[in-house]
Amino acid sequence: MSNEQQPLIRGAQSLSLMLTGYDRDMDAKLSELRKTLKDNAFNQQRFNEVLQEVETAYDNIEELKSKGIKTFRDTLDSILDKSNREIISPLQTENPTITDLLSVAEPLFKELTILDAAEPDGVSETTDLDELRLRLTKQLKTVLKTLSAMNIEDQSCEKLISQLKQMPSWKDLDVITDETLYLVQSRLTEEKKQFEGYLAKVNAKLSHITQIVETDSNTLVDLKALNQQFNESIHDQMREARQKIDEKCSVTTLKEELLQSLDNIADRLKDYQTNYESKLNDLQQSKEQMNIQVQQLEKENLNLISELNKERKLSMIDTLTQLPNRQGFNTRLAEELSRADRYGYTTSLAVIDIDYFKRINDQYGHLVGDKVLKMIGKEMRRVCRESDYLARYGGEEFILLLPQSNLDEAFTAVEKIREHIENCPFHFQNTPVSITVSGGVAERQASEPVEKWINRADTSLYASKGNGRNQITA
């Protein structure tokens, strides 16, 4: 593999890595493609064969996707009433996509849960329904704040958020949910268009690079032929000169013949150098063009990765408290457990809950409840150790990961948090408000499943609440 083709290797390898993870067969073909590109002796025929295999694997994925979506659509069509079949309208298009399938999930879930949970006429709302409506309202606010942070229909998001400040009725909640889903679907559609456009650009650049490689290969063949032709020409001139030396008796005539032969050799050498330099210039221009294409491709890849990382970080942050959410916590937990298993150190976690939080919501309103959540999150983070990882786990519940901490060390750290919250001066309209937290701590046992570990911490939390709250149980 020549130095001129090295940028092509990096570009093709970057693209193959981006496409990895969709299908095992595709992954295997992409791995073979990268292996082919790494060979020192670039084999154009083998490269084309592997590329054809990759395209075949992609066609198989497309066929499997089409069959799966059709099965899903037919099943839902037989289950839903005629009045509700508009839910699966995105799947009724000529060529439905995975994005269309995902867009159906949320309204389908809403149809099977929220509408079933709605109360009959003339019956007052139960406490459970109030709690469910509150949870749905908070979840919608979280989704809308995330969309707003991603600069998606800012004004529409703010308008919907303002409608959620006072807990809406079931009817209003249904309308807000539909509008929120429309914003999400719009975002998915826009991202799909952007990604399809990006793939089209990548395909065009790769096609251009392939053409450059083919042109360079032809130029190298021409250079080889030119060199061979020059060698044969010089050989013929030398043979002709020897023949004249043997045949000519006159020194003057021999001198003239030899000078003529030397002139012929010089002319052919000049022609060879001109043609050789022209071919080298062609190669240099091709190299520069290929470098430009690969650099543009790498730049676009970096921009795409940057955007994906930005949105990934947003998806892992709780918009109210600005703490990591459950997804962010689960990601960090997997990393810490991997390190703990590798190096053999102990790890603990704590589940922390705000005492009588429902009473705060009922007495002061949900806006005050949101402010309490923000302040509690801020104060807990302030006294956490640098190595600890605090996240909002849902509702008024927080979860704290304590790496390299045994049960006693973790209990001491969480007790410090409890004492700090108890002594914080919370006020509402210049009136002191007593806010405390309860917690449960558990140290992970060897090879213990994460779910069982968290359940043990939950059990300790319930013990704290059962014993009067405002305490930590390990």
**Looking at residue 212, what is its pLDDT?**
67
Phi-psi region of 376 (alpha: psi -120 to 50; beta: other; left: phi over 0): alpha
Q: How far apart are CA 298 and CA 30, in angstroms?
A: 18
Residue 295 near residue 358, CB atoms below 8 Å: no
Instruction: Give the phi and the psi of residue 122 in degrees, each rounded to 5.
Output: 85, 0
**Looking at residue 16, what is its pLDDT?**
65
Residue 32 near residue 49, CB atoms below 8 Å: no
* Ordered strands of the 397-403 beta sheet: 389-394, 397-403, 347-354, 437-443, 472-473
Q: State the helix-helix crossing angle for 170-247 and 127-149, rounded to 10 degrees.
A: 30
- Residue 298, judged by CB atoms within 10 A of its CB (0-12, 13-18, 19+), counts as middle
Q: How far apart are CA 333 and CA 393, in angstroms?
A: 13
**What is the reported pTM?**
0.46
Residues 6+ apart with CB under 8 A from 290: 4, 7, 8, 209, 212, 213
424 token code pair = 């914080």
Q: How far apart are CA 361 and CA 358, in angstroms?
A: 5
Residue 356 near residue 435, CB atoms below 8 Å: no
Q: List, for residues 151-186, the tens digit of each pLDDT value.
A: 655 677 878 888 887 778 888 888 888 888 878 777
Residues 6+ apart with CB under 8 A from 433: 360, 364, 426, 427
Q: Other C-beta atoms within 10 Å of 100: how many?
A: 21
Please name the residue that has the structure tokens 């064969």.
Answer: 49
**Low-confidence residues in the chain, pLDDT < 50:** 114-125
Residues 6+ apart with CB under 8 A from 353: 396, 397, 398, 437, 438, 439, 461, 465
435 token code pair = 């806010």
Residue 380 near residue 417, CB atoms below 8 Å: yes
**Looking at residue 413, what is its pLDDT?**
95
Q: List, for residues 352-388, the tens digit of each pLDDT value.
A: 999 999 888 888 888 888 889 999 999 999 999 999 9
**Looking at residue 418, what is its pLDDT?**
95
